[in-house]
Structure 1
Amino acid sequence: MHAFPATRHLRRRHALLLATAATLGACARTGHGQRTTRPMAEVDRLLKQAVATHATPGVVCAIGHAGKVVYRSVQGQRSITPTREAMTWDTAFDMASLTKAVITAPCMMQLWEQGRFNLDDPVCRYLPQFAAQGKSGITIRHLLTHYSGLRPDLGLQDRWQGRDAAFALAMNTVPDHPPGSGFVYSDINFITLGFLVEKLSGMTLDAYASRYILTPLNMRMSGFLPPESWRARIAPTQFDENGQMLRGQVHDPSARRMGGVAGHAGLFSTADDMCVYAQALLDRRAGRPSAFPLQTSTLMMMTTPQQPQGKTDLRGLGWDISTPYSSPRGERFPVGSFGHTGFTGTSLWLDPDSNTYVLILANRVHPDGHGNVIRLRHDVATAAAAALSIPRS
């Protein structure tokens, strides 16, 4: 695997960061936990416009830079039906596919650091059932980079239910393409990785993640299967098959059928906790003091291209770098930045060069699934980078 080349002159970047930090030091708090600053006026406008045009009923946004949260905004409604509730900074969101990058990938890489497997080991070495249907050549690296050749999801046509049924379906999946031949984003990859975490650790995925990822970072409002005491602060998503509004139950139907704990979806979290996670990751990756529970070299590997040689869709181990899913990078963050999105409306994009991240937590699927924040993610990232004087990539 090749390392991604540097794209900035360090001295110039250092001077820019110092100047930007000084400018943003004049931020002033306003109501609802919102932090505004004149250079971020365009971000404010974009967020308000997204709510006004029904791209999402509500949104929480945080921008971190140079080790601090320099911008916070809370807009719109947490709930529209059955009751209207204003969005709040401490709202907990169904993080959807951010579970893949934030939880499952680092769980796997902790086990890799412990020598439990090699990235280019075939998956069937640890899950023998996975060899079925011609999958013996698929490696753990293929799963982590979405180059396995597996189709996007398990399918819901059959009325399967439970973790055992999901395991059987994943193990018996027939590949659509040879491993390594192309990038196909697939929930099955991370459902399988969730089962691998459990096989290698001897713990359930949620228990392992709580003990070894969330607790070291003191992320107290994050986890699978949120307790009833969180319910009032959770952003509802959509009505389920029985006409009940999902609130605290995972939106993803496969994860829900699996009982709410899966490698591809199921995490709930808040803006505060995700800011902690993002900054800790950036700090550890840069070699600064950090509680992030992985080594610097491991994070470097996870967040630089690890796809097969010669392929142009760039993926780290769990993280997106440059693919059709990279709209949250915007127009200015470099290709060396990385991030991930979630179907419910969540996204996190991080730029290690400038020590910056952009977090957007939206419940765009509430209440009818018609919202769309793809453009919002792109435009907010572009506006934030411009406000922070980050040069165009």
Structure 2
Amino acid sequence: VGTRVYTFIYTMAYAMQACAKYGKRMVVLDRPNPIGGELMEGNMLESEFASFVGLFPIAMRHGMTVGELAKMFNEAFAINCKLDVVPMSGWQRSMWWDKTGITWILPSPNMPTLDTATVYPGMVVFEGTAISEGRGTTRPFELIGAPYIDAYTLTDKLNSLNLSGVYFRPNYYQPTFHKHAGQLCGGLQLHILDRQKYKPVITAVAILSTIYHLYPDRFEWKQPPYEYVHDKLPIDVIFGSDKIRKQIEAGTSIKEIEESWQQGVDEFVKLREKYLIYQ
């Protein structure tokens, strides 16, 4: 779904590694990136934080198809299997899923709509906290909250930041399962006003930082294990680095955090160029 941490691409990578080991050919039937192939954002994964939610140093929002990623994984990251990618017909990088004419079929229970996929590259980081990421509602990842949060205080502060393409609506909800099940959570719903201008990763960092500093005595990072990793904080596993967590804790400005990963994004843009199949 266009996000580094979504595990399907690593299942593909593991299959490619097995093919390389046993001399088998891997065939990848390419599919669209639901959130388009033009926009990239977020920090690069650091190798010591590699896991099932991030094996290789790519941007959090990578703007590539699975076929393009397969080509990159195989050559740039030295899997070296016999690989055939069967390209799509008619897809262009500017296309979001709702421009393809293909019916959306949810790839996992908490990815019910394109709206979910749009916010997921950022809002997935709330899995690394004790804050509800909206599981147990019909709007996972669009809703976040916790029993101690005042929805109006939070959204007033966030809307004052004037982040691109997004509006934060105060919201109270009661998850039916998962974090804070059965409890009234104060928080927000994301409303994407312009998906071309909206930056999901820095938006999520801004929300995290705001809650962390509004409620320093209540905010909690989720503790290990997470996705088979037992020796690192889940938030660091998700970000593929401990730098962003430390920047949030230190009160680093949102602008500085975004600037700190831009060089990595620029390098990734150059790296991915030779593996792109579509215009």
TM beyond 0.5: no
TM range (shorter): 0.3 to 0.5
* Larger-gyration structure (1/2): 1
Q: TM-score, normalised by structure 2?
A: 0.32
Q: TM-score, normalised by structure 1?
A: 0.25
